[in-house]
Amino acid sequence: MLGLDKKDTTLLLIVAVLTMCAPFLLNPFPEGSGMAQFNAGYPDLMQRFVIFGIFAIGFNILFGLTGYLSFGHAAFLGVGSYAAVWMFKLLSMNVLPAIVLAVIMSGLFAMLIGFISLRRSGIYFSILTLAFAQMMFALAYSVLTPITGGETGLQLALSDPRILGASATAEGNIPVPALFGLEMRSSTVWEVGAWKFTFNTGYYFCAVIMLVSFFLAIRIFRSPFGMMLRAIKSNQQRLRYTGLNPKPYTLAAFVISGMYAGLAGALMASMDPLAGAERMFWTASGEVVLMTILGGAGTLIGPVLGAGVIKYMENIVSKINSDILHGWFAFLPDGLEDFVVAIIYPFIGKGWHLTLGLMFMLVVIFLPGGLVEGGQRIARAFRRGKKNEAPKAASTEPAE
């Protein structure tokens, strides 16, 4: 189907089903229950899951296939956000032109930065990309304030010209991003007993784009171009001995990866029309590196899983405080309850980064292939167990 083999088609269908059913899967606990704290089925977080999934998928095309580790990919995320907001200010509030401009602008910036940075490899390439990203952050934060809004960020205003759209609504408010009149922030809530499931237009728009991005990533991975990128990662020197120049391929991978980042930035601006320099800071670049490695660099679904885990911890685990913990362990004797809370509390709430760091260390040491490798090991263990049970069952049967 769609030019994919059976295995890739199955993977795409699984991702599609999980994405489309996210409002149900991410709200397993009824509203008002003690475990409702772990529900993640609200629009803002679901949007972040798929947007950062797109960001990680694009980064994986560069890092997972070629082995080039960029520490400056957040620069293209910021460029995409700024381009989208400027399109909202000048043209219309339709999200499609904003996304197209963001992808083009981030691709142009990626071509320029990649052309210079790819003259070096290894740690030197990583430092160059980090330097470019920090320069762009500094420019956006101070020097280019008339274009970027500086410290306050680029925002919409009632004075925006907006050639193909109204500058204000009938109520005198600033218009919101929409897709041919369908507002990104509009939601429908479905109540089933004690459960509430929210279906948000912006989320499903981002989800469809993520599925298309995931499909394109599969095609790139399975294409001759993807094989060339793997050859570059395997041994670039031997590839040169065959007479092939790897630089055009690495530059193409860098540009494609930057365009994915710009797409993610445009979607962030489409959900919340604001662009700030903090999206270009080095910590945002480090976050996508963690997502890719945690999920499994070089795998198809790994970066999406990594993005989901980190964003879940950032938005759910970080909100667990000592009062919630005391409520969970109230059945224990007072002294033991306080001791258990004191042990767990440093790893949640404001200390969720400590848990993430420990998880990252364990993955790097024991699961170099990330969460995907962990799932594969579990699957192999189950298959091995079934194979071992089959002969035993056959040996107990009486001879005929």
User: 305-361, pLDDT tens digit by residue?
Assistant: 999 999 999 999 888 888 888 888 888 888 898 899 899 988 888 889 899 999 889
d(CA 83, CA 98) in angstroms, rounded, equals 7
d(CA 44, CA 42) in angstroms, rounded, equals 6
Contact 156, 89 (CB under 8 A): yes
Q: Which residues contact 142 (CB under 8 A, 6 or more apart)?
A: 150
CA angle 269, 274, 277 (to 5 degrees): 100
Contact 102, 81 (CB under 8 A): yes
Residue type (1 letter), 205: F
Residue type (1 letter), 136: M
Percent of the chain at pLDDT > 90 equals 61
pLDDT at 398 over 50: no
What Cα–Cα distance (Å) separates residue 249 from each residue in 61, 147, 226?
12, 33, 9
* Domain annotation covers residue 288: no
Give me the number of domains the chain comprises: 1
d(CA 184, CA 271) in angstroms, rounded, equals 6
- In this prediction the pTM is 0.92
1 pLDDT band (50/70/90 cuts)? low
* Domain annotation covers residue 318: no
* Domain annotation covers residue 116: yes
Q: Which two tokens stand for residue 158?
A: 């009632």
pLDDT at 397 over 50: no
Contact 131, 72 (CB under 8 A): yes
- At residue 194, the pLDDT reads 85
Residue 255 DSSP one-character state: H
Q: Where are the alpha helices (DSSP H) in the chain?
A: 6-20, 22-25, 43-66, 74-90, 95-117, 122-138, 145-148, 201-222, 224-234, 236-241, 247-271, 282-295, 302-315, 322-328, 334-344, 352-366, 370-395
Residues paired with 179 in a beta bridge: 182
The string of pLDDT tens digits covering residues 63-118 is 999 999 999 999 999 999 999 999 999 999 999 999 999 999 999 999 999 999 99
Find the domain containing 89 and state its range.
43-281
* CA 135 from centre of chain: 24
* Domain annotation covers residue 134: yes
- At residue 165, the pLDDT reads 80
30-46 CB burial, b ≥16 within 10 A, e <16: eeeeeeeebbbbbbebb
Largest CA distance in the chain: 91
* Domain annotation covers residue 345: no
> Average per-residue pLDDT in the chain?
90
Beta strands 187-192 and 195-200, pairing class: antiparallel
* Domain annotation covers residue 32: no
* Domain annotation covers residue 3: no
Residues in the chain: 400
User: Average pLDDT in the 382-392 region?
Assistant: 72
Q: Which two tokens stand for residue 102?
A: 């963001």
The string of pLDDT tens digits covering residues 221-259 is 999 999 999 999 998 888 888 888 999 999 999 999 999
d(CA 37, CA 35) in angstroms, rounded, equals 5
Contact 51, 267 (CB under 8 A): yes
Contact 39, 28 (CB under 8 A): yes
* Domain annotation covers residue 175: yes
